[in-house]
Amino acid sequence: MIYFLIVLTISAVVTYAVTPLVRTVALTLGVYTPVRDRDMHRQTLPRWGGAGMFLGMVVGLAAAAAVPYLSGIFADLTPVRGVFAAMVLILIVGMADDAWDIHWFLKLIGQIGAGVLLVIHGVRLEVMPVGWLGVGDAPVQAALTVFLVVLTINAFNFIDGLDGLAAGVAAIGGSAFFIYSYLLTLSINQFDASNLVTLLMAVMVGACLGFLPHNFHPARIIMGDTGAMLLGLVMAAGAVAVTSDVGQLSEGWRFRNVPAYMPILLPLAVTLLPLLDLALAVIRRTARGASPFSPDRGHLHHKLVDGGYSHPQAVLLLYLWSALFSFGAVSFSFLPWWFVSLVMLGTLGAATALTLSPWLRRRARRVNRQAAERALRARRERSG
């Protein structure tokens, strides 16, 4: 694991170092987000932070290619080229959108194109977790892969609304995915842990950790669509690629050591908050007759801030939920299911109480105020 951690550190250091340069370029060219009613910040902030994250990931991948222990990942360069090509396409689309606010349909075309590039280079959804059914039909593999890519990209794009939120959620979920992929690879070959999915999660987590010091509240730069879509793409690529690793496991190992649903549960758990926010936004916007892609101020992070949490508190609370589901899902891989279930129930209860505490406190104050008013009226009536 030490080599992956070295690559992660390289990605973090490069991202941290180049982000101020990206910020200067964005300010010079006037690429910044205006202050809008739905936004949480109250000053203009430069975009294109995702470009710094892209550079950190690419340098991390290049460093990994120079490590002999990880040479197995690059024995067949086709999947690596596919992921890189998709990242470049998303980078171009994201930077264009951050600079000129392009039409949502053009962004969708770019996202579909990124999924197609993955498919062309062999990164496809090969195994369905329900009954371990193989997806043998190439057109079905392609369609499912592109759908997952577009879904995950937009999920991360929707959740990117508070300083440090998307980067932190991706770092937490990516860390859980990293652990799972690493253990899965060792279960296939205990002498060789080199795996593309593990590497992708390492460089993504590193890029997020390197970007967060510049992006946590109060942010000096935001990742923009460039970064949010890039995170979604890398997460989707890992979720798709891991299905080919699962196909190599023996049937007995699948059902003894890993729950049968883990290959799909973990990506869902990692992206649960973004996917939930995406689903609620689509329902909310279509219900009022608006486009699902039309912006509004109804996201989960908006609700938390409007409910009484400060900007950093809302972000940390969403970190907690992301860690709870991500690492809870991973724990099923190597801990007794009953123990994980009990711990999850307890932590879910605590997290729910913490989340609802502002509303509960307001309700308690309202009840106490009403009781005091009734008592005051009763005393007046007796004295009268």
- Specify binding-site residues: 157, 225
| 180 touches 249 (CB < 8 A) | no
| 307 touches 325 (CB < 8 A) | no
| 300 touches 273 (CB < 8 A) | yes
Give Dmax (Cα) for the chain.
Answer: 93
Q: Hey, which residues does 134 pair with through a beta bridge?
A: 127
For the chain, how big is the Rg over CA atoms in Å?
Answer: 23
Torsion of CA 111, 11, 201, 352, to 10 degrees: -90
Q: Give the separation between CA 155 and CA 358, rounded to whole angstroms.
A: 27
Q: Token digits for 20?
A: 């101020």
Q: Give the separation between CA 89 and CA 116, rounded to whole angstroms.
A: 11
Give the type of residue at 154: N
Listed residue (99, 61, 57, 93) closest to 77, CA to CA: 61
* Residues placed in the known binding site for Mg(2+): 157, 225
